Amino acid sequence: MITLQGKGVFGGIAIGEIAFFKRDSGVVQRKKVEDPQAEIQRFENAKAKAIEELGELYDKAVSEVGESNAMLFQTHQFMLEDLDYVEAIENMIQTQSVNAEYAVSVTGDNFSQMFASMDDDYMRERAADVKDISARVVKILTGAGESGLVTDKPVILASDDLAPSETVQLNKDMVLSFVTQGGSTNSHTAILAKTMNIPAIIGIGDALDEKYEGKEAIVDGANGCLIIEPDEETMKEYQAKKQEYLAQQELLQQFRGKETVSLDGQKVKLYANIGNASDIGAVIKNDAAGIGLFRSEFLYLENDNFPTEEEQFKVYKYVAETMGQKQVIIRTLDIGADKQIDYFNLPHEENPAMGYRAIRICLKQQDIFRTQLRALLRASAFGNIAIMFPMIVALEEVLQIKEIVKSVMAELDASGIPYNKEIQLGIMIETPAAAMISDDLAKEVDFFSVGTNDLTQYTTAVDRQNANLEGFYYPHHKGLLRLIKMAADNAHKNGIWIGICGELGADMEMTEAFLAMGIDELSVSPACVLPLRKKIRETSVKERQEEILKNVL
């Protein structure tokens, strides 16, 4: 029995086999071949195999998502038969005597760059398709194994760390727990674990080795320990602990349908944070009063090209209709920093957290922004959608956003497309600058939502993704709490509401303080809704308001 220690970021017990996240190296070696004709035949065989695979994927997709959504696989089949593409590969093999996988990889890159540089939108969109079909053929030629999470049963997923683009593509039904060598308590892996209500451990270090692949293990999220090949006594002990934990979770069900109101009558809107439409089930199961943060960037992360207006509209509409009259606050695209997407071609930055990200991308690349706004506004006709804009630092940004929204609304009016003309527009308070000028900002928007993860980062000058700085990340820092209090006071002075959608919202050590500040809404991971409702219903702050604020501020 081996016990590895890390840092628990979400409690609970998981028991199962360890499976490591697998990544392709992505490097294709150039090799000289003696028989180019035989190499061309290898390519032809791999191409035929790829077309066969795509046909199977098309049939599966037709039955699951309909013919229109399955057409992509037919398009890829046609592209593999394109004469220009095939001849370019075969000519390279013949004239340069190189291996087939190298010829396919280089040709794929060349064609992709050619498509990406075209003026026509449709042709530009083919750049990612060429890369995809080339990668498929290379994989067949090299005999590379599957990447990502490769399993046919639920497992404890182990990795060095996981990027947002990797977590979004996981089959979450197959993940019992996350355990990582590195990472931080504010990483997207940690946030995803909380959304999924599964235990997670970070910072185990190099001791988490791939030699443990397939080994039976126990994850104790509360104590941050991973027990590999536990003995019989330890297994029995943790099976009992798991049943006790599940029983405690079951007890929380008594708070379903109950009002979120403190003992002294202070009502709070208790919402949930989600990453995509598949999280809706967890929102409903945990009885959240609405969605306080829909991270729309995950629509972009799970695609290999810009999602179209129609694709986005269908997702936003589905979420709005599913939630009925409950409010759904959708944050506009927030990429950059730790959320990188290849097809955006963002430049390398030395300090991306302070760089070209979120609303800055939207205001500079307005075609992307306007597409998303059109989809959001159209979907607002089908439910109670509000739109929230991230990373605001200046009043001028808000005024520019409002002009763009007004312009998009005029386009919809001209086309006779319905939308909610009274839709609420809000901003995130996640920079000290926004908190400091919150009096001015509050006059221009309908609500504030405090993003405590970034606000802590920018206030304390600590990169929240840097595991070496874990000891310097102070989520209860008085400077941070004073900024939140300032924003709350200015919101209420100007007649708008204020919520918190960062991870600090679920920190029950801060619940009294947030009630004392008059925070109107808390948006947390779905699994945290019922425990937080219980806490609020057992709390009274009115008589001790000054004392509580004095202690924290």
* CATH number for the domain that contains residue 344: 3.20.20.60
The pLDDT assigned to 186 comes to: 66
Residue 345 lies in a domain: yes
Q: CA 6, 12, 14, 19 torsion: positive or negative?
A: negative
pLDDT for the residue 398: 98
Residue 114 lies inside a defined structural domain of this protein: yes
Q: Are 6 and 44 contained in the same domain?
A: no
Q: Which two tokens stand for residue 519?
A: 């925070």
- Do residues 9 and 55 share a domain? no
**Same-domain pairing of 422 and 545:** yes
Amino acid at 462: V
**Residue 28 lies inside a defined structural domain of this protein:** no
Cα separation of 179 and 194, whole Å? Answer: 13
Q: What is the pTM of this model?
A: 0.70
- 411 and 276 belong to one structural domain: yes
Answer yes or no: do 374 and 294 share one domain.
Answer: yes
pLDDT of amino acid 507: 94
Q: Measured between alpha carbons, how far is 432 from 178 in angstroms, rounded to an integer? A: 33
Q: How far apart are CA 56 and CA 50, in angstroms?
A: 10
Collapsing DSSP to helix, strand or coil, 228 comes out as strand
What's 161's domain CATH number? 3.50.30.10
Residue 370 belongs to a domain? yes
**pLDDT at position 403:** 98
pLDDT in tens, 482-513: 999 999 999 999 999 999 998 899 999 999 99
Helix (H, G, I), strand (E, B) or coil at 214: coil
Are residues 506 and 528 in contact, defined by beta-carbon separation less than 8 angstroms? yes
Question: pLDDT tens for residues 511-536?
Answer: 999 999 999 999 999 989 999 999 99
- Quote the pLDDT of residue 109: 87
Rounded (10°) CA dihedral 275, 280, 283, 287: 160
Q: Which residue has the higher pLDDT, 445 or 198?
A: 445
Residues in the chain, how many? 553
Distance CA 148, CA 21 (A): 5
What's the Cα-to-Cα distance from 263 to each of 252, 259, 531, 544, 548, rounded to whole Å? 18, 11, 16, 13, 16
Distance CA 178, CA 175 (A): 7
Cα(469)–Cα(329) distance, integer angstroms? 32
Q: In which band, very low, low, confident or very high, does the pLDDT at 343 lie, cut at 50, 70 and 90? A: confident
Q: Give percent of the chain with pLDDT exceeding 90.
A: 61
**Domain boundary residue among 142, 176, 197?**
142
Q: Which of 21-30, 212-221, 312-321 has the lowest mean pLDDT?
A: 21-30
Check pLDDT > 60 for residue 25.
no
Q: State both tokens at 299.
A: 């629509």
Region 102-128: what's the mean pLDDT? 81
Please indicate, yes or no, whether residues 508 and 489 belong to a single structural domain of this protein.
yes
Q: What is the CATH number of the domain that holds 52?
A: 1.10.274.10
Q: Alpha-carbon distance 499 to 482, whole Å?
A: 15
pLDDT given at position 102 = 92
**pLDDT averaged over the chain?**
89
Q: Distances in Å between the alpha carbon of 429 and those of 293, 506, 513?
A: 13, 17, 18
Distance CA 515, CA 484 (A): 12
E strand or H helix that includes residue 245: helix 232-251
pLDDT given for residue 131 in this prediction: 83
Residue 309 and residue 216 share a domain: no
Rounded Cα distance between 497 and 426, Å, is 10
Query: What pLDDT sits at residue 26?
Result: 60
In angstroms and rounded to an integer, the radius of gyration of the C-alpha atoms of the chain is 26
In a domain, 31, yes or no: no
What is the rounded average pLDDT of the residues 333-346?
Answer: 76
- Of the candidates 76, 362, 492, 501, the residue annotated as catalytic is 501
Cα separation, 79 vs 431, whole angstroms: 46
pLDDT-derived band of residue 237, with 50, 70 and 90 as boundaries? very high
pLDDT of residue 367: 94
CA neighbor of 367 nearest in space, from 395, 420, 408, 319: 408
Same domain, residue pair 443 and 379: yes
Helices 366-379 & 309-323 angle (0-180, nearest 10): 30
Residues 159 and 268 placed together within one structural domain of the fold: no
Report in angstroms the alpha-carbon separations of 353 from 169, 349, 436, 448: 23, 9, 20, 21
Q: Are 219 and 199 in contact (CB under 8 A)?
A: yes
Residue 424 lies in a domain: yes
Please report the pLDDT score of residue 24 as a whole number: 65
Give pLDDT, residue 338. 66
* Structural domain that includes position 162: 2-23+148-251
Task: Please confirm, yes or no, whether 76 is among the known catalytic residues.
Answer: no
Burial pattern 447-465, b for ≥16 Cβ within 10 A else e, equals bbbbbbbbbbbbbbebbbb
CA distance 12 to 15: 10
Distance CA 493, CA 489 (A): 6
Q: Do 73 and 219 have their domain in common?
A: no
Q: Identity (one letter) of the amino acid at 243?
A: Q
CA 262, CA 372: separation in Å to the nearest integer? 38
Residue 144: pLDDT band (50, 70, 90) is low
Selected residue with higher pLDDT from 465 and 295: 295
pLDDT at res. 145: 59
Q: Which of 251, 266, 283 is the last residue of a domain?
A: 251
Element at 193 (helix H, strand E): helix 188-196
Give the pLDDT confidence score for residue 278 in this predicted structure. 82
The tokens for 521 are 């809404």
Most confident listed range (182-191, 235-244, 428-437): 428-437
Q: Which of 90-94, 295-299, 350-354, 447-451 has the lowest mean pLDDT?
A: 350-354
Count: domains in the chain: 3
Q: Confidence band (pLDDT; 50, 70, 90) for 279?
A: confident
For the question of residue 477 being annotated catalytic, the response is no
Query: pLDDT class for 156, splitting at 50, 70, 90?
Result: very high
- Residue 397 in tokens: 């940004």
Question: Does any domain span residue 30?
Answer: no
Confidence of residue 65 (pLDDT cuts 50, 70, 90): low
Under the banding of pLDDT at 50, 70 and 90, the label for residue 412 is very high
Indicate the pairing of strand 225-228 with strand 447-450. Answer: unpaired
Which of 451, 514, 525 has its CA nearest to residue 485? 514
| Residue 29 covered by a domain | no
Least confident of 98-107, 168-177, 293-302, 426-435: 168-177
Q: Which of 201, 232, 251 is the last residue of a domain?
A: 251
Which has the higher per-residue pLDDT, 303 or 486? 486
What would the mean pLDDT of 382-389 be, rounded to a whole number?
A: 97
- Can you tell me which residue has the tokens 């102070």? 474
Of 283, 311, 285, 284, the closest CA to residue 296 belongs to: 311
Q: Is the pLDDT of residue 471 over 90?
A: no
Q: Which residue has the higher pLDDT, 462 or 45?
A: 45
For residues 168 and 237, membership in a common domain is answered with yes
Give the helix ranges, DSSP H, for 302-394: 309-323, 359-364, 366-379
Same domain? 15 vs 60: no
Q: Which of 76, 188, 362, 528 is catalytic?
A: 188
Q: Is the pLDDT of residue 353 over 90?
A: no
